[in-house]
Each structure stands twice: as structure tokens, then as C-alpha cells.
């Protein structure tokens, strides 16, 4: 499968300051890429270069096989973009706004009618199509913004903070919509909300101080979130020395009476041997649970290591 985006060695200087330093990545159809980074990391600059709003100082960008720098108009036609603040006109109805956006994309009559109907159905806007955008909830305004981004059937959809300011129900609805759209498009999702990456994305990349410090699939990232420790609860108090001798056990920390944290060496999970030893020794096994690091903890760890 050919790539929808090929970014090669993207670099951008502002004067002597290198905001983005040789960033390379790709995006395929069906992939939802979560793009993360601390403030000032170069995330917005990278997004602007991908959308053709900012020329790179060096490097190349191909959008669905079209060179963005050589054929910008054709390449941008393959992009749908929703900025953090949806570019909607509050004084228009949803129908009026989508018709206007479709005409900007050069859609004519039958094609325009078909495209707007599809976008409204896809984004759940049929029932509010005749209402003024200014009278809609923020969730429906966000849906309207996504509808304009997919109106011209772009290969790639770029979403910048699509759930900011929404209530929990609206957030779930937008995340579900993003996952559905990911089946038909390639999506770049820029967000500061780390659970959103876990919920919606297939791939993750983190930029820090202008450099890409992580570019991986979500399954691999989740495997890194499994900490090398276990929570153990027994019926009777145990002597740490009894478990310390088990292969793989690094250290044992007493949390409180009959509750312990077992630290082990990576690639040597001793859970099975621990359970067997505790049961055989008559200490009464109540709980033996692997601990997990949060996405936030992993994000902090990766960016801190990259900053050293």
C-alpha cells in the first residue's frame, strides 16, 4: 500500500532557531496518527508544513504521491483540515455553510448535493442541517467542522485538538467518528489529551525540541506502558526473603500489611513462579496484578530522556 504522506527530513528555521530538525515519517490509509509534543516542541510548525501553510527550510513532502512544494494546489486538494477553532460561520445554517465550503472546493450541483449529504450523514448532522450554527452545541459545531474537512473526499484528514471544550458524551461521540473515518482515510490527530491517543489512534509520534523522539504503533507503545512490577496481596504476612530467591525478582516493597509491590527484571516476569510459591507455602494468594504506567508517565519519561 502506497503512503498518503511521505515527509522526509523536514527542517524549519526561524532565524537561527531550528524549530523542526530533520523530521521524517509516513502515513498510510487506515492509519490514525496521534501527533504529540510539549508546547514549543515544533508540533504546530510541522503541522503547518504538512498542510502547505509554511514552507520548510529543507526537506520534502509528498501528499498522496504529489509533491507539495512543486504542485501545491493539487496536493492541498488531497487534504481536509480542522483547526483547533472550527472555521464555521455562526450566522449560516449547516446546509448553507457546507454548500459554501463545497463551492470553494469547486464542486458543482449534483456532485455538491451528493457530497454535502454524505458529509452530513457521516457526521450525524441530518437533524440539525437547517439550524443556525451559532445556535448549535459545541459538539455539533465540531461535527460541522469535521464535515467541511471531509466534504471533498480528501485522502488525508488533519484534526487539531478536535475534542477541546467538549463534554464527556460529546468527546466519546467525536472519538468514535474519528475511528470510523480512519477506515477510509489517513488521519493525523494533533492533541494534548493523552487518553485520546489511546482511544483513537493506531500510531503515535512524539516531537520534542524539534526532533522526532518516538514514532511507533499504539500496540508497541502500550506494551511499554506495562511496568516491570506486580502488586501482590496475601492472606498472611510473608517474609520477603522467601520470594527474593525466585528468578527474575529484583526487589520487594511492602505497601502495607499483607500487600506488596514486586519489582522484576524486564523480560523475566516471575508471576507464575510467585503464585506457585505463595500457594504452596500456605500464605493465601488474594491478588497478583501487573502494574501499568499511564500514557502521561510514558510521555514524560520519553521527553525527559530526549531532553538530556
Cα distance between residue 65 and residue 75, in whole Å? 8
Q: Is 304 exposed, middle or buried (0-12, 13-18, 19+ CB in 10 A)?
A: exposed
| Domain ranges, residue 245 | 226-292
Q: Does one domain contain both 164 and 64?
A: yes
DSSP secondary structure code for residue 41 in this structure: S
Q: Does one domain contain both 233 and 103?
A: no
What pLDDT, in 10s, does the model give residues 198-255?
Answer: 888 999 999 999 999 989 898 887 776 666 788 999 999 988 888 888 988 988 889 8
Strand partners, 36: 206
Question: Quick check: is 17 in a domain?
Answer: yes
3-state secondary structure of 180: helix
Question: Quick check: is 190 in a domain?
Answer: yes
Strand partners, 8: 60
C-alpha triplet 212, 64, 184: angle, nearest 5°? 95
pTM of the predicted model as reported, rounded to 2 decimal places: 0.78
Cα distance between residue 112 and residue 153, in whole Å? 11
294 has a pLDDT exceeding 80: no
Q: In total, how many domains does the chain have? A: 3
What pLDDT, in 10s, does the model give residues 134-181?
Answer: 999 999 999 999 999 999 999 999 998 888 888 889 888 989 999 999
- pLDDT at site 71: 96
Q: Is 124 exposed, middle or buried (0-12, 13-18, 19+ CB in 10 A)?
A: middle
Which set of grid coordinates corresponds to residue 187?
A: 488521519
Assign residue 18 the CATH number of its domain: 3.40.50.300
Strand (E) or helix (H) holding 1: none
18 has a pLDDT exceeding 70: yes
Cα distance between residue 29 and residue 47, in whole Å? 18
Amino acid at each position: 500500500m502506497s503512503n498518503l504522506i511521505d515527509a522526509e527530513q523536514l527542517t524549519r528555521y526561524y532565524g537561527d532557531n531550528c524549530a523542526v530538525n530533520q523530521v521524517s515519517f509516513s502515513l498510510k490509509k487506515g492509519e490514525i496518527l496521534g501527533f504529540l509534543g510539549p508546547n514549543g516542541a515544533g508540533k504546530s510548525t510541522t503541522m503547518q508544513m504538512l498542510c502547505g501553510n509554511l514552507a520548510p527550510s529543507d526537506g520534502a513532502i509528498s501528499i498522496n504521491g504529489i509533491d507539495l512544494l512543486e504542485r501545491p494546489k493539487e496536493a492541498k486538494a488531497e487534504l481536509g483540515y480542522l483547526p483547533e477553532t472550527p472555521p464555521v460561520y455562526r450566522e449560516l445554517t449547516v446546509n448553507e455553510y457546507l454548500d459554501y465550503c463545497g463551492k470553494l472546493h469547486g464542486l458543482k450541483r449534483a456532485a455538491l448535493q451528493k457530497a454535502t449529504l454524505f458529509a452530513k450523514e457521516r457526521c450525524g448532522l441530518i437533524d440539525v442541517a437547517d439550524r443556525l450554527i451559532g445556535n448549535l452545541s459545541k459538539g455539533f459545531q465540531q461535527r460541522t467542522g469535521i464535515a467541511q474537512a471531509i466534504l471533498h473526499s480528501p485522502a488525508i484528514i488533519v484534526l487539531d485538538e478536535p475534542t477541546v471544550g467538549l463534554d464527556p458524551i460529546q468527546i466519546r461521540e467525536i472519538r468514535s467518528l474519528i475511528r470510523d473515518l480512519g477506515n477510509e482515510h489517513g488521519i493525523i490527530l494533533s492533541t494534548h489529551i493523552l487518553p485520546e491517543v489511546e482511544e483513537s489512534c493506531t500510531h503515535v509520534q512524539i516531537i520534542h525540541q524539534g526532533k522526532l523522539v518516538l514514532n511507533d504503533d499504539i500496540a508497541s507503545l502500550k506494551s511499554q506502558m506495562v511496568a516491570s512490577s506486580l502488586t501482590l496481596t496475601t492472606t498472611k504476612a510473608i517474609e520477603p526473603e522467601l520470594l527474593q530467591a525466585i528468578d527474575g525478582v529484583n526487589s520487594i516493597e511492602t505497601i502495607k500489611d499483607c500487600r506488596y509491590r514486586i519489582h522484576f527484571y524486564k523480560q523475566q516476569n516471575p508471576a507464575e513462579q510467585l503464585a506457585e510459591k505463595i500457594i504452596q507455602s500456605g500464605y493465601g494468594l488474594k491478588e497478583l496484578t501487573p502494574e501499568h504506567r499511564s500514557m502521561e508517565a510514558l510521555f514524560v519519561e520519553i521527553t525527559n530522556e530526549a531532553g538530556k
